Amino acid sequence: MPSDLEKAMESLIMVFHRYACREGNSSTLSRRELHELMENELSNFLKSQRDPRIVDKIMKDLDTNRDGEVSFEEFVSLVVGLSIACEQCYQTHLKKTGARK
């Protein structure tokens, strides 16, 4: 039986490929595919952004090899960055509430 972490990794891979296969190269995300993924899977994050061009900026930051697409390896850096930010918010919440770890 897979662990929680193994399930999370599988979910991350499955979500990426669910969107990557919609057009063009099935192993990368186009700008449109990335936008759809973020609208559906990271909607709360998008709603909290004030910049209407946030997806374009994220695409530019993620596309480290500048090929106009986002590979799984490039995509993972977005997930890592958001996870770190969420963990920092969690730690701040713990400090404010005096909760123990």
Split at pLDDT 50, 70, 90, the class of 24 is confident
Q: What are phi and psi of 5, to 5 degrees?
A: -65, -40
Give 50-64 pLDDT, tens digit per residue: 888 989 999 999 999
Q: What is the pLDDT of residues 31-42, one digit of tens each?
A: 999 999 999 999
Say if residue 101's pLDDT is above 70: no
Domain range enclosing 81: 4-97
**Category of 88 on φ-ψ map: left (φ > 0), alpha (ψ -120 to 50) or beta:** alpha
CB of 74 within 8 A of CB of 60? Answer: no
pLDDT above 90: residue 19: yes
Residue 11 sits in a domain whose CATH number is 1.10.238.10
Going by pLDDT thresholds of 50, 70 and 90, the confidence category of residue 100 is low
Average pLDDT over residues 2-17: 96
Q: Specify the number of domains making up the chain.
A: 1
